Amino acid sequence: MSEKIKDKFFEIVDSINDQIIKIRRDLHSYPELSDDEKETSKMVKELLEKYGYEVKKFDTHYGLIAYLKPNKNQKTIAIRADMDALPITEQTGKEYASKIDGVMHACGHDSHTAIALGTAIAFSKIKDSFNGNVRFIFQHAEEGEGGSLDMIEGGALDGASAILGLHAYPYLPTGQIGYKYGVMMASADMFTIEIFGKSSHGARPHEGVDAILVTSMIVNSLNHIVSRRIDPLHPAVISLGTIEGGKTSNIICDHVILTGTVRTVNDKIRNKIPDMMRESIKGVCKSMGAKFNFDYTFYYPELINEKSMVNLLVKEATNIIGEQNCIDLKDPVMGGEDFAEYLKVVNGTFFRLGTCNENKQTCHPQHNSKFDVDDDALKIGMKIMGACAIEFLETSVPATLPNELGCFAKY
């Protein structure tokens, strides 16, 4: 029965593909930054309501939750898309390039939104043909403070049994997907360090405490944490992104601010790193007569795919694009993704949708001014999302609770 439903779903996707490509290009032309997705959210809401969805919006942000024939007595699967863009000036030269100065969809969220909309439209046309509920989450601020927590608090996963998500991926050709069992992406934390020294004349450095010199020693010390204090079999990254300090060339600097990020794929290591950093900073400052403030914020957790949901993804994707085009990524990446927050609440899987096409110039990396998505990938994304949702709802897919992942949870 489920195969007939999928065939009908695929026919609808084929019929609306041009419409979805146009939506993607329109979104690309008018990008909006995190927490400013007003017009995008409005367009998504109006389109969903046109196709019979009940849409919940919020007073504090632009995220949306869309319900198709909600029934508390039936199984529910959620599909998530993010809507925000980045503060980058586009240089693709495409006819649908960003028309908003200094803002562009350089990470593919326009394609994620379009794929979810296409999937939603197709489901609306077969809503009486399948069992269960399909819920769509259109999330704000993935690039910002992590809008996923707002959506979860707003009820996005209430009563849901599973969730699906994808990401445009310029490192795989169009027509392929990448999947990963267990840890797929790293946790992503942020930190700020303030160094307080003592100013003096540049010709009399002995009368001051040079915050810039202290900072340089701290940078060196922090970079030794990963190479000398952490097991090399457990990848970790400590990266400094900004250093600000000093007023002029002949004054010993008395105040420096550093910011950076930490990425890990192991919770035990993640929890140890802040203490290691504080020890290093404290040691340098004590030896140099400086003082410091250290602020460490735990942001996105590791993204951990659940085994049975990955099996479901691979099975359905194999039927659509062939086994040879389903690529086991094997190793996690150190990038962060707040889809991980959803996976702490319900089972699910996140996968990579290949979008690289050299002839269309869509192989540039994410967060690059020339990044773009091959429109031919949209149809593949819609079909895989839809097939996985239908199979999950129509069959008894075994589920493992997120905190019972066993050997798949960590290395």
Around 324, how many Cα atoms within 13 Å sit in the side-chain half-sphere? 0
Q: What is the rounded distance in angstroms from the CA atom of residue 304 to the CA atom of residue 290?
A: 41
Of 32, 82, 84, 337, the catalytic one is: 84
Of 142, 143, 337, 338, the catalytic one is: 142
Read out DSSP for 124-183?
A: HTTTTTSSSEEEEEEES-TTTT-THHHHHHTTTTTT--EEEEEEEEEEEETT-EEE-SEE
What is the residue type of 94?
K
CA-derived radius of gyration, the chain: 24
Around 366, how many Cα atoms within 13 Å sit in the side-chain half-sphere? 20
Is 142 in the active site? Answer: yes
Read out DSSP for 90-134?
A: -----TT---STT-B--SSHHHHHHHHHHHHHHHHTTTTTSSSEE
Q: What is the rounded distance in angstroms from the CA atom of residue 126 to the CA atom of residue 52?
A: 12
Using an 8 Å Cβ cutoff, are 325 and 174 in contact? no
Both structure tokens of 284: 């340098």
Catalytic positions are 84, 142
